[in-house]
Amino acid sequence: GESVGLHLPTLSVQEGDNSIINCAYSNSASDYFIWYKQESGKGPQFIIDIRSNMDKRQGQRVTVLLNKTVKHLSLQIAATQPGDSAVYFCAENNRDDKIIFGKGTRLHILP
């Protein structure tokens, strides 16, 4: 079915450490994946995306990895900062052009 889920609902990370947020997707026909960050009181904000013909993409302090064999997506945030505290959503664009979101992972930064 069309479902995108998260392995962990809450992730606590020490400031300065790297964060890894995981996501599993079920639709093998999905060809485009996106990570969003949502801060309190705001709408989701685009972080980084990746197409199914790639397995890795890097941005500024963020890296997305795609493993199509096991239908797994991850977001790595380097040198986590207090401003990274938010809920992170993975989303997939299936072949029907619907963007389906996962339930989200809350990233908590420890001082």
Query: Which listed residue (53, 69, 82, 97) binds another protein by CB under 8 A?
Result: 97
Query: Which listed residue (22, 26, 49, 72) binds another protein by CB under 8 A?
Result: 49
Binding of another protein by 98 (CB under 8 A) = yes
Nearest distance, CB of residue 7 and another protein, angstroms: 15
Binding of another protein by 102 (CB under 8 A) = yes
Query: Which listed residue (89, 105, 107, 109) binds another protein by CB under 8 A?
Result: 89
Cα angle 28-62-71, degrees, rounded to a multiple of 5 = 15
Query: Which listed residue (42, 53, 70, 82) binds another protein by CB under 8 A?
Result: 42
**CA-to-CA distance for 101 and 23, rounded, in angstroms?**
10
**CA-to-CA distance for 39 and 69, rounded, in angstroms?**
32
CA dihedral 77, 82, 87, 89 (to 10 degrees): -20
**Residue 15 DSSP one-character state:** T
Site residues, another protein (CB under 8 A):
32, 34, 36, 41-46, 49, 89, 91, 96-104
